[in-house]
Amino acid sequence: MGKDMALSLARKGVDIVLTYHSGMDEANQVVEEIERLGRKAIALPLDMSKFKNLDPFLFSFFETLKAHWNTDRFDYLVNNAGTGATILIDDVTEKDFDYLMNVHFKGVYFLTQKALVHMNDHGAVVFVSSGTTRFSVNGYSVYSSLKSAVETFTKYVAKEYGKRGIRANIVAPGPIETDFNSAAIRNNPQMKNFLAGQTALGRVGNADDIGSVVAFLCSDEAKWVNGIRLEASGGINL
């Protein structure tokens, strides 16, 4: 999904600093695609599970802005980093919880806090949540609870930074056929068919069902949209 978000923003005339966890080659390929669209792009490594990496990443990010754009300001922040884990409540360990907490909430909270100081007024923040904050899926108790925390945090960002004209919104995807959670949907035709049958549009989502929604929320077309949860799920579990 992150790839399509970056490309969708580039098509709207936005230069991109994208991050990757381990897929450096894939990230550089996205950079090349963005450059072919006539925009600038840089890929930086970031492991959100290691909280100590946050300040060094931000230093690198702002140095990159200065080196390539001659500024330390930016317009849009998309919090998309995530990892899947299907663990029943009885089996959740403190290690599991802390890992998911760092990736999905603690890292998101403090990255946003530290970055917003440098965001241009009238910018936008997009948080990526999940359809599973509305409906329950076995094994997602930690993941979905943390996404619910992000949804609450989004409203506070919208409230406290609105005086600067900064908007904050949530995109909540339904089941998407990507590499997420070890490509659980792609690798399990039975699961894919079941989820498609639960969705009003009769299919699971693709990455390109989400990127355009994120790009919309970052654009002037959404200048009066603030503090909302936009579920892009094809109408699952209606």
126-140 confidence digits (pLDDT tens):
999 999 999 999 999
Phi, psi of 122 (to 5 degrees): 70, 25
Q: What is the mean pLDDT of residues 158-172?
A: 98
pLDDT higher than threshold 80 for residue 161: yes
Query: pLDDT over 70 for what percent of the chain?
Result: 95
pLDDT higher than threshold 90 for residue 5: yes
**Which residues touch 65 (CB under 8 Å, ≥6 apart)?**
17, 71, 72, 73, 74
Q: What is the pLDDT of residue 176?
A: 82
> Which structure tokens are listed for 206?
């693709």
147: amino acid identity, one letter: K
| In-domain check, residue 161 | yes
Range of the domain at 190: 2-232
| In-domain check, residue 61 | yes
| In-domain check, residue 56 | yes
Q: What is the mean pLDDT of residues 39-46?
A: 98
Query: pLDDT over 90 for what percent of the chain?
Result: 82
- Name the residue with higher pLDDT: 176 or 57: 57
Q: Average pLDDT of the chain? A: 94
| In-domain check, residue 237 | no
Whether 210 and 176 have beta carbons less than 8 Å apart is answered as yes
Instruction: For residue 207, give the DSSP letter.
Output: G
CA distances to 182, 184, 199 from 190, in Å: 16, 11, 15
| In-domain check, residue 238 | no
Distance (Å, rounded) from C-alpha 124 to C-alpha 162? 10
**What residues are labeled active site?**
143
Q: Which of 19-28, 40-49, 150-159, 183-192 has the lowest mean pLDDT?
A: 183-192
Q: What is the mean pLDDT of residues 171-186?
A: 73
pLDDT higher than threshold 60 for residue 21: yes
Instruction: For residue 44, give the DSSP letter.
Output: E
Phi, psi of 64 (to 5 degrees): -65, -40
| In-domain check, residue 55 | yes
Where do the H-state alpha helices sit in the chain? 2-11, 24-36, 54-69, 94-101, 107-116, 141-161, 180-183, 189-197, 211-218
Distance (Å, rounded) from C-alpha 59 to C-alpha 53? 10
Q: How many domains does the chain contain in total?
A: 1
| In-domain check, residue 52 | yes
Instruction: For residue 106, give the DSSP letter.
Output: I
Question: Exposure of 137 by Cβ count < 10 A (0-12 exposed, 13-18 middle, 19+ buried)?
Answer: middle
Q: What is the mean pLDDT of residues 197-203?
A: 89
Q: What is the pLDDT of residue 13?
A: 97
229: amino acid identity, one letter: R
Distance (Å, rounded) from C-alpha 76 to C-alpha 166? 9
pLDDT higher than threshold 90 for residue 183: no
pLDDT higher than threshold 70 for residue 197: yes
| In-domain check, residue 40 | yes
Please tell me the pTM assigned to this model.
Answer: 0.92
Distance (Å, rounded) from C-alpha 172 to C-alpha 230? 6
CATH value at residue 115: 3.40.50.720
Q: DSSP states of 118-156 as a string?
A: TEEEEEEEEEE--GGGTS--TT-HHHHHHHHHHHHHHHH
